[in-house]
Structure 1
Amino acid sequence: MKNPLYITSHGILSRKNNTIFFVNEEGKKQLPIHAINEINCFGKVSLKSGASSLFMKEGIVVNFFNKYGFYEGSLYPKIKFNSGLVVVKQSEHYLDKNKREFIAKEFVEGIKHNTLKTLKYYSKKGKEVDLFIENIKKENIAGDISQIMSSEGRIWNNFYQSFNKILRKFHFHKREIRPPTNEINSLISFGNSLLYSTVLSELYQTYLHPSVSYLHEPSERRFSLSLDLADIFKPIIVDRTIFKLVNNNMIGKKHFSKDVGVLLNEKGKQIFISEYQKKLETTIKHPTLHKKVSYRYLIRLEGYKLIKHVLNDQKYESFKMWW
């Protein structure tokens, strides 16, 4: 089984023959190249050309993040699973206004459902989140792309306002991104960046083109389909990880530093990544596949469902937490 590799310190990735090494001030460490499916670099990591070539050959996506934990870019290997038909149909569904709106609306329906599921879980635990549940329930997702995105924004706004009722420490006033101005914004930004890169790596395993999106506008500088799909899974992967880390005192003030904003330090990043990876590896019995699948594999399944939809094989329904 292949797993992601997370690098939080500074160093160089180099190659000797068919072996990859990570070299820094602590020494030289050999990496198990055939056991890695993606590499996420949070420190200042340089790649030697030989290492880059081997990563491309092995189909390993290398993601780079800046010191604030924001995604900056990827070394993205040549397309592994190539289907011109899928890309053409994927693009047709973007260009056709009605088809695009259907998919975008279904994405936000998934976000709405999964935020509600999360809040209802905490309501049962005695958290005072019923007002936010009712506000999200009332949200009618309809109209053109701008209206659909406005609905999405209101859902997230209500969801984030509930955090002060769920979290046992750290005050969270509002969502602020660049830079995060408090601990919770820092955790959200870091987690969202991790999930974005995970979705990108899973899309690499499908025939979908990661730049053709439906809710977010396609952009020359980012893989916007990853943003679309990541939003569906944020409440159950990123936010539940944050709630666990904070409420179980696994993350505290000592795990942050202040620069331009409030940032996770190296130890804080390692703790978050460890719990995030555990969440991705969590398995659940799938109602139609009739077998256990990981949260990470649920993301890939979302890509497969989207392919079936654009090929007119099966109408798309976004992932909605059933447990």
Structure 2
Amino acid sequence: MSQSYYVFRSGRLRRRQNTLYIEWEDQNGQVDRQPIPIENVRDLYLFAEVDLNTKLLSFLAQNGVVVHFFNYYGFYAGSFYPRESNVSGHLLVCQVEHYLDGEKRLALAREFVGGAMFHIRRNLNTYRDAGRRVEEALAVVEEGLERVGSVKSIAELMGEEGRVRDAYYKAFNDILNLAEPFEKRVRRPPDNPLNALLSFGNSLLYAATLSEIYVTQLNPTVSYLHEPGQRRFSLALDLSEVFKPLIVDRLIFRLLNCKEIENEDFEALGEARGVILKDSARRKFVRRFEEVMQTTVKHRRLKREVSYRQLLRLEAYKLVRHLVEMEPYSAFRAWW
């Protein structure tokens, strides 16, 4: 069964026959290597300085392996997205048609935002039941859910989503035991530990979603909620929006409330360069993230166990069925 590999050790990726090798120098200057059968690799996440060449990239492309690159600070840098072998001109035409048609685009965007708000409300309800004072944020979310269906434009929808998320982020002060109040979401660069965790977790989810889109016939650059643009796979932003509160936010709540990650796990890079997780904290976060992605639930429709990672792929296939007019798209909403 294929799986994701996260590389934190600097070294080199090589191909030898039909096996992928990760090589590095030990403390004595001797070269150690770890073989990874290529058929076991779904995708690669590179967090260290890793050398590779075009021969290796060609090998990965032949086997449909997506590679995600993160820079020295742990920020997502980009992905190597192999040439798609599973392509459909008809689906691409349908994707573009749904983008160009304002009503069709808005209908999809409403579902992405509605699914995200549903999971935000679910998180808040969990902590309200645990005695946390999140009623004010819940009221804003309920209003947002009511208004999503009546917005007239993408801009209005994004404004409604922003209002809900602002209230949600303020509620983090009641959900978490923070040393300093969390005031607002800051991305580039993150200005405090919580923003650093959100940015890192969201980038992992974005990359995982992109890997699942690759398996389908969808074009990752044609999106509906987020404006398609250069240098990004914006459809992965659309689909991951639904799962951020369910996967990333819940993981962060657990890590901080259980003190698995604490203030000493972060490093300040100066006023303009923000705050990042130390390497050891990134490893810890990735380990827990992968545990979540491998967690399974009984799918109500398929009547079998599926992992959170498989839910991402199923969401992409639901979008495919909508685009070819087989079945209207309804964003994923957790039922457990």
Residue 49 of structure 1 corresponds to which residue in structure 2?
Answer: 54
Whether the aligned pair in 2 keeps the contact of 1:135 and 1:158 (CA below 8 Å) is yes
Q: CA RMSD in A?
A: 1.2
Pick from 192, 201, 210 the counterpart of residue 211 of structure 2.
201
How far apart, in 1, do the equivalents of 2:208 and 2:284 lie?
17
> Aligned residue for 2:96?
91
Q: Please tell me whether residue 244 in structure 1 is matched to residue 249 in structure 2.
A: no
Map of 2:142 onto structure 1: 137
**Corresponding residue number in structure 1 for 2:78:** 73
Answer whether contact 1:69 1:189 (CA < 8 A) is retained. no
What is the deviation of 1:159?
1.4
Structure 1 stretches lacking a partner, 5+ long = none
Shift of 1:37: 0.2
Distance 2:77 2:53 in 1: 19
The residue identity in structure 2 corresponding to 1:289 is L
TM superposition shift of 1:43: 1.5
In the other structure, the counterpart of 1:36 is 41
| TM-score (norm. length: structure 1) | 0.97
Aligned to 1:296: 309
Structure 1 residue 67 displacement after superposition:
2.5
Shift of 1:7: 1.1
The residue that corresponds to 2:156 in the other structure is: 147
Which among 231, 241, 255 is matched to residue 241 of structure 2? 231
Partner of residue 274, structure 1: 287
Aligned to 1:24: 24
Q: CA deviation at 1:124?
A: 0.8
Q: 2-side partners of 1:219 and 1:13: how far apart? A: 31
The answer to whether the 8 Å contact 2:18/2:37 transfers is: no
Query: What SS is found at the alignment partner of 1:82?
Result: coil
Query: Can you list the C-alpha shifts for 1:141-185, whole angstroms capped at 9, x where unaligned?
Result: 211011111111112111111111111234322111111111111
1:149 counterpart SS class: helix
Q: What is the DSSP-based 3-state SS (H/G/I as helix, E as strand, rest coil) of the residue aligned with 2:74?
A: coil
> Stretches of 4+ moved more than 4 A in 1?
none
Q: Which amino acid aligns with 1:103?
A: L
**Distance (whole Å) between structure 2 residues aligned to residue 219 and residue 318 of structure 1:** 23
Q: Secondary structure at the match of 1:138?
A: helix
Amino acid at match of 1:165: D
* TM-score, structure 2 as length reference: 0.93
Whichever residue aligns with residue 209 of structure 1, its letter is N
Q: 1:163 aligns with which of 169, 172, 188?
A: 172
TM-aligned CA deviation for residue 74 of structure 1: 1.1
Which amino acid in 1 is paired with 2:33?
A: K
Shift of 1:310: 0.9
Cα distance in 1 for residues equivalent to 2:235 and 2:75 = 17
Change (3 A) 1:55 1:170: farther
How many pairs align? 323
Q: Distance in 1 between matches of 2:85 and 2:290?
A: 24
* Structure 2 stretches lacking a partner, 5+ long: 27-31
Which deviates more from structure 2 when the two are superposed, residues 143-152 or residues 193-202? 143-152
Cα distance 1:240–1:318, how it changes in 2: closer, same or farther (>3 A)? Answer: same
User: Which residue does 1:253 correspond to in 2?
Assistant: 263
Whole-angstrom distance in 1 between the partners of 2:123 and 2:314: 21
Q: In the alignment, residue 299 of structure 2 is paired with which amino acid?
A: H
What is the CA–CA distance in structure 1 between the aligned matches of 2:258 and 2:77, rounded to whole Å?
31
Residues of 2 paired with 1:195 and 1:170: CA distance? 27
Q: How many Å apart are 1:23 and its aligned residue?
A: 2.2
Counterpart residue type for residue 132 of structure 1: A
1:227 CA drift (Å): 0.4
TM superposition shift of 1:221? 0.5
Using the TM superposition, name which of 92-101 and 40-49 deviates more: 40-49
Matched, 1:313 2:322: no
Q: Aligned with 1:14: secondary structure?
A: strand
| SS, match of residue 186 in structure 2 | coil
Distance 1:15 1:22 in 2: 9
Query: Deviations along 1:81-109, whole A, 9 cap, x unmatched?
Result: 21111111011000111100110111111
Q: Percent of aligned pairs with the same residue?
A: 42
